[in-house]
Amino acid sequence: MKSMEKTQKLLTNKHVALSARKEIKRRRSEFEKIHIPNDIVEEIMVMLPVKSLMRFLAVSKHWRSFIMSKDFEERYMALEQSKECKLLLVSNYFKDKVAQETNFSLKTVALEPTSASVVDEKALKFEKTEWKLYISESCDGLVCLYAINIAVKVVNPATKMYIELPLSRIQQICMNKQVDPDSVQDPNHVKYPRNSFSQFGFGKDSVTGRYKLVWLYNTYPFFTTTCEVLDLEEKTWRFVNTDTLDRHNILNHNLYSDQGPVFADGSIYWLTGDEDGYPKSDTKLIVFDIHTEMFQVVETPTFITSDCYGESIGLCNLHGHLCISELMVDNYLDTQEFWWRVKDNTWEKIFSVHLPSTYTLFGIDFPHPLTPLAICRDTNKVILALRGNDNLVALDLNPHSSGYHLYLSCYNGLAVPYVPSLSLFYSIEKET
C-alpha cells in the first residue's frame, strides 16, 4: 500500500514538473514573439541606474556585450553628466589587524534642496596601511585610492570594479623595495625618500580619451622635481621630462596646506612652494598637459594678490571649470573670493564667502580656504567643504536668501564631486 502511494506521489511530482516546464516554455515562446527594436532597448537602458545594468549583464550575451560596449559607456556618461552631480563620501570604518585589511565605505549622495541623501553605498576591502590614505578627484565616475606604501587602485564606485596598478618608483623606494634595475634610468636620485614629498594627479587625455595617473614629487636634498606617468591602457610607470619647471617645486600638502592637484580642461595643476615644500609668496601654477605630457610654469591670474602665499590660494574643478580662490584676511571681514575660467585666459567671479559666518558650522575659529564641491542647479546653492573637516555647508547664492546652513554633518571621510558611470567596463572586458 505504501509502495503504491509512493509511486503515485512520484508520478504526481513528475506531472507537476512537466507542466511547469511546459508553462515556462510557452511563456518564453510568447516573450520571444515580442520583438523590441535595439534602439528602443538602448533608450530604456541608458536611463537606468548602474545597479540595474549590472544585473542585466546576466540576461544574455547580447545584452552583456551591448552594456559593456564603449559606445554605450560614452552615451551613458554623457547623459549622467547632464544631470545634477552627486557627491562621493569615502571613509575607512574598520581595520582588520588579523587579515591586514581595511574596509572602505563608498557612499553616493544626491544633492537635495536642504540636505544630502544617501542613494547608494558600497564597501570595498584593501590592504591595511599605516600611511595616510588619499582619494583623487573623480574623473568620468572613477576615483583613485592611494597611499605612498600601497598600490594605487582605480575604482568605479558604482560597479565596485577596480584595477590595481603596479607600484611607482617613488613608492618602491619609500617601501624599501628593490627597484628593478632594468627599468628606465632614474632622472633624479632619491637619497632620503622619507624627506621627499609627492602629489598625485589623475585625469583624462582630451584628445585620445585615455586616463593617466601622475606622481609629481620633490626629491630631498637636491630639491629637484621628478614626474612619473602611467597610461591606464599601458599600466606601466615611466618618467617624464621636468626641465621646463626650472627648479620650481610643488607645495607640500602635508604641511600648512591641504591643497592637492586639480584636473581641468585636459591639464593637471599644482601650486608652487619653496624648496622644502612650504608656502611662499609669489606663488605660481605648475601645469601639466596630459596629452603632450609637457610642463609649464605660469603666473596666477591677475586678480590674485601678487605676493599671496600658497596656503591662502585654493584650486578645484567646479563643474568642469578650473576654479581658483584667494583667502582675504581682514579681521571680521575675512572673505574668500571664487573665480572660474570660462575660456582660455578669461575668468569670471562667481561668488564670495564671508568666512566668519561658516566658523560655527564647521566647528572652527580661524580662516581656512574652503573648497566648493558643487553648485546645485535647482536651488542655486553652493556646497562648501573644509579639508579634514566632517561637515559640509551650503551657501544660498540667491539674493535676499538666508545665507549659510549646515548641509551634511559627521560624514567622517573625504568628499568629492561624482557622477555614476560605467567606466572601466570596456577596459576590463577588452582584457578578458
Question: What's the order of all strands across the beta sheet hosting 150-156?
Answer: 134-135, 143-147, 150-156, 161-164
* Residues 107 and 71 both lie in one domain: no
* Residue pair 318/264 in contact by the 8 Å Cβ criterion: no
Is the pLDDT at 28 greater than 70? The verdict is no
* Residues 350 and 402 both lie in one domain: yes
Q: State residue 337's pLDDT score.
A: 92
The string of pLDDT tens digits covering residues 140-161 is: 999 998 888 788 999 999 988 8
113, containing H or E segment: none
In the chain, % of residues over pLDDT 70: 79
Q: How many angstroms separate the CA atoms of 357 and 158, rounded? A: 35
* Residues 106 and 72 both lie in one domain: no
How many domains in the chain?
A: 2
**Which of 76, 100, 132 is at the close of a domain?**
76
* Residues 215 and 269 both lie in one domain: yes
* Residue pair 154/162 in contact by the 8 Å Cβ criterion: yes
Q: State residue 381's pLDDT score.
A: 92
User: To the nearest whole number, what is the mean pLDDT of the chain?
Assistant: 81
**Which of 34, 61, 76 is at the close of a domain?**
76
* Residues 345 and 265 both lie in one domain: yes
* Residues 40 and 139 both lie in one domain: no
* Residues 87 and 62 both lie in one domain: no
Q: Which domain holds residue 49?
A: 2-76
**Which of 76, 94, 109 is at the close of a domain?**
76
Is the pLDDT at 237 greater than 90? The verdict is yes
Q: State residue 31's pLDDT score.
A: 54
Q: What's the CATH code of the domain at 331?
A: 2.120.10.80
Residue from 244, 42, 221, 213 nearest 139 by CA = 213
* Residues 203 and 224 both lie in one domain: yes
Is the pLDDT at 61 greater than 90? The verdict is no
Q: State residue 289's pLDDT score.
A: 96
Q: How many angstroms separate the CA atoms of 76 and 74, rounded? A: 5
Question: What's the order of all strands across the beta sheet hosting 404-408?
Answer: 371-375, 381-385, 392-396, 404-408
The string of pLDDT tens digits covering residues 279-319 is: 888 889 999 999 999 999 999 999 998 888 888 899 999 99
Is the pLDDT at 372 greater than 80? The verdict is yes
Between residues 194 and 391, which one has the greater pLDDT? Answer: 391
* Residues 61 and 108 both lie in one domain: no
Between residues 305 and 177, which one has the greater pLDDT? Answer: 305
CA dihedral 241, 251, 201, 414 (to 10 degrees): 170
Q: State residue 50's pLDDT score.
A: 92
SS3 at position 370 = coil
The string of pLDDT tens digits covering residues 90-130 is: 876 545 555 556 677 888 888 888 888 888 888 777 766 66
pLDDT confidence band for 79 (50 / 70 / 90) = very high
* Residues 66 and 109 both lie in one domain: no
* Residues 170 and 31 both lie in one domain: no
* Residues 93 and 53 both lie in one domain: no
Three cell numbers, residue 111? 544633492
